[in-house]
Structure formats: structure tokens, C-alpha cells
Amino acid sequence: MDIPSLSSFNLRHFWAPDIVKGKDEKYYLYFGNCQAGCNIYGYVADMPLGPWKKLNEDDTPIISPEMGFLLKIFIFQKSPTTENFQVV
């Protein structure tokens, strides 16, 4: 699988990858990498094998140590009936 590297850092290793399919029928890839600060990065694709695009083109992690790590990553979508977000 070809994963786009960070603009400022060439990612060579990643751990705990997970791919989930959202209600929007797109696939989301999340993984951790400690080469660039022990962050969790996210990518999106139309197919489970890619091609993958960064969720944040500016290389901002989805979760960083400053935010605290979660045991599970959820995809949220705004509810069509309320102003709240719901797990997809």
C-alpha cells in the first residue's frame, strides 16, 4: 500500500494501522508514527487499497500526545436532525 509521506518528514514506519469504512462509503486509514512525534495520522480513499490522500494536507496529526491518546478512533458526522455529532 502506498501511503503519502509527510511534507516535512519521510515516514518509513507506522504502527497499529486501522482501516474503517464510513457512511460516506469512503475508507479511512489511521496509524501511529513516532518518527515525527508519536502522532496519529489519517488518510482517506475511495477504495480500501488506496490511493490514499492525507486528511490534513498541512501534516497536522489527527491525534497528538498533547491531545491525549484514545483507545479507539471514531469517525463523527453531524446529525441530520440536531446540531450534535454522532459516531458514524
Please, which pLDDT band fits residue 81 given cuts at 50, 70 and 90? low
Residues in Cβ contact with 66 at an 8 Å cutoff, skipping those fewer than 6 apart = none
Could you give the CA distance from residue 54 to residue 38 in angstroms, rounded to a whole number? 17
The per-residue pLDDT for 85 is 47
Q: What is the pLDDT of residues 18-47, one digit of tens each?
A: 898 988 999 999 888 877 678 888 899 999
3-state SS, 11-70, equals CCCCEEEEEEECCCCCEEEEEEECCCCCEEEEEEECCCCCCCEECCCCCCCCECCCCCCC
Q: What is the pTM of this model?
A: 0.68
Residue 82 in this model has a pLDDT that exceeds 70: no
